[in-house]
């Protein structure tokens, strides 16, 4: 298959992946990195630096909120939670993905019907 087939920008789905993972409940960065890998958008492990940059930006935009959790052994860890605004953005992503799916399905069916 040609190297030109398909896109190679899986990072475009980092934001909805993080929001989806947080819609299941509050989480730490490391747990989020593991969770979003299961969604299939990123090949291999998600680069931690990229994930934390997204989380910081989403925190600044009000899509997630974070606080330090100093309970337990070891150093304090930042815990993230989705906000109502984040849930709205996740819903918008889902609508966008559904439209993409429908467009792709129609394209494939047209090809297969030739």
pTM here is: 0.85
Domains and CATH numbers, the chain: 10-112 (1.10.10.10)
Tell me, what's the pLDDT at 4? 57
**pLDDT over 70, % of the chain:** 90
Across 77-87, average pLDDT = 96
Predicted local distance difference test score (pLDDT) of residue 85: 97
| Residue 6: per-residue pLDDT | 54
**What's the mean pLDDT in 68-78?**
85
What mean pLDDT comes out for the span 38-43?
Answer: 84
Distance between CA 107 and CA 101 in Å, rounded?
A: 10
pLDDT 10s digits, 93-112: 999 999 999 999 999 999 99
Residue 47 vs residue 18, higher pLDDT: 18
Residues 9-37, mean pLDDT to the nearest whole number: 91
Q: What is the mean pLDDT of the chain?
A: 89
Given a cut of 70, whether residue 10 has pLDDT beyond it is: no
Distance separating alpha carbons of residues 15 and 90, to the nearest angstrom: 9
**Residue 79 and residue 29: Cα distance in Å, rounded?**
7
């Amino acid at each position: 298959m040609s190297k030109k087939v398909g896109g190679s920008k899986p990072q475009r789905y980092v934001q909805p992946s993080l929001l989806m993972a947080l819609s299941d409940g509050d989480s730490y960065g490391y747990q989020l990195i593991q969770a979003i890998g299961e969604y299939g958008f990123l090949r291999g492990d998600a680069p931690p630096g990229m994930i934390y940059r997204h989380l910081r930006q989403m925190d600044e935009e009000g899509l997630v909120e974070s606080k330090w959790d100093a309970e337990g052994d070891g150093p304090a860890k930042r815990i993230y939670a989705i906000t109502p605004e984040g849930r709205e953005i996740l819903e918008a992503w889902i609508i966008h993905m559904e439209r993409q799916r429908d467009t792709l399905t129609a394209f494939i069916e047209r090809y297969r019907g030739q």
